[in-house]
Structure 1
């Protein structure tokens, strides 16, 4: 029988008030408070906090303050990643960011979600004494491929994958996967045109 963490990572309904998640949140909030309080030029100390908080951290990574995340442990960042100020990563499931990625200010990435149908969304026979959340929650991973640029204020919804080399326009709401080497904009976000046609083989050589 799966525990609540295993259910969460499998994309199934889980109890987000289980003690293990409350401990994840407690630790992340403590580390975030320390991180966001540091001056801009305290690079070494910021790196130490990120190494303790995140699931994976590449080289040459910058995260502007303030930064907010849920657990931290489910965020995996590649090499040469720039995350600008006021970004929010709700990492109840994995958020995986590739190499050479730009994420502009005020970007929001969500992995947690709830059933649309009210009868499914509400937890049956819920009571304050149950220790559960009053509504059902599940979480789906989000992935951003190598060489992407996510424009300011964009929102990435649970389960979406952004293909390598793609650009997401400012203010877009990404509700489904975006293919590689595309400019995609709008709400809902749609592919506008292809890019990187001439340089794709040089940027991403075959293995």
Structure 2
């Protein structure tokens, strides 16, 4: 692992123009572009692409195009490095049957409860419990479901 990647993953200041990080971002964008070009009947291909892009995706997850990554903190790594990163980083956890409207942003380390609905355009900065409707910037629980 290069010095700049190590600095990035440990929360230190890093140089984002580092060739390794630039290559990672280009690869991630290519995977996003490929995912976004999939057809409605290409579920297995979309799942495989998301696995390559995110490291893992829960069984039964359903993510439809248009996906966009807006941060350099999602480098694409080999399987072992990716596994170690997931164990040491602050992943986003999404419960069963959660639903997000378009344009939702979820910050690192946030957990979204099962059967929870997040309104379009919301920015989720804190954990959301099971069975609630949340919306806004920052997202707030509007009511229980």
Q: Does 1:145 align with 2:112?
A: yes
Q: What's the offset of the Cα at 1:9?
A: 2.5
**TM value normalised by structure 1:** 0.52
In terms of fraction of residues, the more helix-rich structure is 2
Residues 49-83 of structure 1, C-alpha deviation per residue, up to 9 Å, x if partnerless?
11111122111111121111143759xxxxxxxxx
CA spacing shift, 1:102–1:146, aligned 2, 3 Å = same
Structure 2: gaps of 5 or more residues: 78-88
- Unaligned runs of 5+ residues in structure 1 are 75-92, 111-140, 179-183, 185-190, 197-207
After TM superposition, give the deviation of residue 35 of structure 1 in Å: 0.9
CA distance in 1, matches of 2:104, 2:16: 23
* Greater C-alpha radius of gyration: 1
Greater strand proportion: 1
TM-score (norm 2): 0.71
Is 2:137 the counterpart of 1:173? yes
The Cα RMSD (Å) is 2.8
2:92 aligned counterpart, secondary structure: strand
Do the aligned residues in 2 keep the contact of 1:55 with 1:72 (CA within 8 Å)? no
> What is the correspondence of 1:1-207 to structure 2 with a 5 Å cutoff?
3-69=3-69, 70=71, 71=74, 73=76, 94-100=90-96, 101-109=98-106, 141-147=108-114, 148-156=116-124, 160-165=125-130, 166-169=132-135, 172-174=136-138, 184=140, 195=144
